[in-house]
Structure 1
């Protein structure tokens, strides 16, 4: 079975026909990034927003987001949402590399760095709470 893509409504020849809705959504988001409407680090539109904008189901929007993440255009921050991935040439989104996102290992490293930074902040917050409790002993009885 060569040259076949499994899509929303079954199979279709690769490269043929009209793009599926999730592909249209992913391309629209990529275009917003390329044009500078969404910058590296910006939050991507929520699932609900994309569902309304494109008249799509939640599964279709999830597939679009998965595609963006796999291709290195977006990263997830647990509990925070999805964000535009940082590109090697973030200031040159209109240049020849405008369609080349940070991919593969580099995108995974970035996602791990973001998760690590968030975890470090949570640890710092917890340390602060512990210090307050130890200094004043105020909330220990709860």
Structure 2
């Protein structure tokens, strides 16, 4: 049985394959996907990272995630197609962008955690010791 993030990713892939979501079009927001699938933000983020790594989506900082363009796909196959073929060469840039975005998100999350730890240490330094 597939995990929730896999179900979310496959649902979005199918919407892209069927033309319900077109290249350049915004993907549903994290909040919308959380509501639709009853999923946590981490689960939705995992699905989005998977789609970006596979070349189905790209991030635009401050704007969200969008359906990737696949101009280099001469054989008409979409990335991650069930025949076992990998994403087209043109999707490499999308995968790199997805990995860069995931790294930037992780750095941002770490910075937030460091801030919270520093605040806890400053505010309640002797509690729990």
Shorter-normalised TM-score: what interval? 0.5 to 0.7
2:70–2:88 contact (8 Å) kept in structure 1: yes
- Superposed displacement of residue 102, structure 1: 4.3
Aligned to 1:4: none
Q: Which is higher, the Rg of structure 1 or of structure 2?
A: 1
Q: TM-score, structure 1 length as denominator?
A: 0.56
RMSD: 2.4
Which runs of 5 or more residues in structure 2 are unaligned?
98-129
Report the Cα distance in structure 2 between the residues aligned to 1:51 and 1:22, rounded to whole angstroms: 10
The aligned runs of 1:1-142 (5 Å cut-off) are: 18-88=1-71, 97-98=77-78, 99=81, 101-102=87-88, 104-107=91-94
Report the Cα distance in structure 1 between the residues aligned to 2:95 and 2:2, rounded to whole angstroms: 27
| Bigger relative contact order (CA 8 A; separation at least 6) | 2
Which has the larger strand fraction?
Answer: 1
Q: Give SS of 1:75's match.
A: strand
Shift in CA distance, 34/89, structure 1 to aligned 2, threshold 3 Å:
farther
1:85–1:102 contact (8 Å) kept in structure 2: no
